Structure 1
Amino acid sequence: MALDQKTIEALEGVTTATLTTVLLKKGLRNVWLRGTKPLKPGQKRVVGLAFTLRFVPAREDLATPESWSSPTSTRAAIEAMPEGCIAVADAMGVTDAGIFGDILCARLKKRGVAALITDGVVRDVAGVLATDLPVWCQGAAAPPSVAGLTFVNWQQPIGCGGVAVFPDDVIVVDDDGAVVIPAALVADVVAASVEQEKLEAWLFNEVQNGASLPGLYPPNAENKARYEAYRAKSKAAE
């Protein structure tokens, strides 16, 4: 699966707050990945297909420095990532072992990976920031991943931040964190979200001009008609 440029551009103009509202209206409540905070303030909104990575609790015979050379390793997973994907790592919320450091993040950046998202933490923060790879996580820890986690596979269904994420689900992430859009719902969600953003921009402008909230947000029949008239006028001017 690949995201077309039109879909990417549409979602780049939609906040994760709007997406959670639209998905809620479609019956999906658990779509916001807990613990995914921007490592660097001011990171731009990123859109991409999920490339999933799965960790389990560390087991002494498996979680060793030697495991980094295994065919089933984070290193091998990185080399399998397509350009434009978003790496989504299930670190089980562990915050005392950094899953990726500066060298791995540098390689992610070189491969054209759009962002790294995890409910865990990273290490070598100064170096990670220097790569300019957008990262959302719970912070930093000095110990390596094998101090607390065992990497087991990639491109499998995972639970990240308490949310089910499947390979090729669509991820949108901004200052409010990461949201997953199930692949089968993308077209409907994009259309509804773009329209919701236009409505909310009009509502915000009305509030800025002194309008009170009752009957405006959410809009009653009168304000819906006013908004539709505004949209018709805007389309005619385009």
Structure 2
Amino acid sequence: MSDQQQPPLGDDVFELLSRVSTSTLATQLFKKGIRQPFMVGLSPVGDRFDGFVGEAYTMRFIPAREDIDPLDDPYRTGNVLQWEAVEQVGRRQVIVVDSRGDISAASAGDMLITRAMNRGAAAFVTDGALRDGHAVSEMGFPAYAKCITATTRPASFHVAELQVPIGCAGVAVYPGDILVGDRDGIIVVPRALAAELAAPAADQEALEQYLHSRVRGGESLWGVYPPDESTLNDYRIWQQEQQRTDIERVEA
């Protein structure tokens, strides 16, 4: 089933997932038997964004070959699927590139990433390299890669397919899967599990922030992390107080 045929996810799912760290989602997915959903080795380009949530729009690279990918004018007469992807990607979609972990050339540069951003894309992710690292880092747009290079994509890569299952940084990604990124990296949530996991993950995130505040305040781990029933009861009381405070603030 392609992403166009899949039922849309509600805004509430994206909103809840936007509150959740990749670590929390890894725990939730582990409970569902998903052992390794994190894209190991990819880093955010720049520090002007905190994260993103979006649906996978996939792109698969294979090595370039001289008789298929001419050097004279590759952008006008050769492989232009990369352009098609950037012109098709929509709001809340993430361009995810299977570069086979190869950093010999770039998966994209600031021009294509700028166009994707203007199209409403949520992020650009590759397990290869990006060009124009400084320019990309100044954009404030979520972009993740293994490293930065100046070498142009046609020097090494042919874009073989769009919107097919791929592997990116060792993780299977299907079109329409949900990617969640933060400053630590990116995690892949199977689309079929996204709505089911969103609320429990947000609840876990809120609880762990509370527990962290207690450990940071000097308390021992015993009974606090993981929380025993007494700590959970304290948390419920704290939640009620926070909710009451929020209501009073709105009514003031």
TM-score (norm 1): 0.91
Return closer, same or farther for 1:129/1:62 CA change in 2, 3 Å cut-off: farther
Return closer, same or farther for 1:222/1:80 CA change in 2, 3 Å cut-off: same
| Shift, 1:230, TM fit | 3.3
- Asked whether 1:68 is paired with 2:71, we answer no
The alignment-based identity, stated in percent, is 35
Asked if the contact 1:34/1:119 (under 8 Å) is kept, the reply is no
| Shift, 1:60, TM fit | 2.3
What's the secondary structure of 2:181's corresponding residue? strand
Distance in structure 1 (CA, Å) of the matches to 2:185 and 2:103? 17
- Asked whether 1:152 is paired with 2:160, we answer yes
1:19 is aligned with what amino acid?
A: L
What's the secondary structure of 1:216's corresponding residue? coil
Question: Quick one: which of 30, 34, 37 aligns to 2:36?
Answer: 30
Structure 2: gaps spanning 5 or more residues: 1-6, 248-252
**Greater Cα offset, 211-220 or 172-181:** 211-220
Question: Quick one: which of 85, 101, 110 aligns to 2:118?
Answer: 110
Question: Quick one: which of 43, 55, 63 aligns to 2:61?
Answer: 55
* Residue of structure 2 equivalent to 1:207: 215
Asked if the contact 2:24/2:201 (under 8 Å) is kept, the reply is yes
| Shift, 1:56, TM fit | 1.4
| Shift, 1:132, TM fit | 4.0
RMSD over aligned Cα, in angstroms?
Answer: 2.0
Q: C-alpha deviations, 1:41-96, integer Å up to 9, x for none?
A: 24221111111111012322233444434475201121111122111111111112
Structure 1: gaps spanning 5 or more residues: none
Matches within 5 A, 1:69-88: 69=76, 70=78, 73-88=81-96
Distance in structure 2 (CA, Å) of the matches to 1:63 and 1:38? 30
Asked if the contact 2:48/2:139 (under 8 Å) is kept, the reply is no
Q: C-alpha deviations, 1:138-183, integer Å up to 9, x for none?
A: 1211111122222101111000000000111111111110111100
Distance in structure 2 (CA, Å) of the matches to 1:94 and 1:71? 18
Q: C-alpha deviations, 1:93-146, integer Å up to 9, x for none?
A: 111201111221221122121210111111122333454432111121111112
* Residue of structure 2 equivalent to 1:119: 127
| Shift, 1:199, TM fit | 0.9
* Residue of structure 2 equivalent to 1:40: 46
TM-score (norm 2): 0.86
- Asked whether 1:191 is paired with 2:199, we answer yes
What's the secondary structure of 1:176's corresponding residue? coil
Runs of 4+ residues deviating >6 angstroms = none
What's the secondary structure of 1:151's corresponding residue? strand
What's the secondary structure of 1:32's corresponding residue? coil
Return closer, same or farther for 1:232/1:130 CA change in 2, 3 Å cut-off: closer
- Asked whether 1:143 is paired with 2:177, we answer no
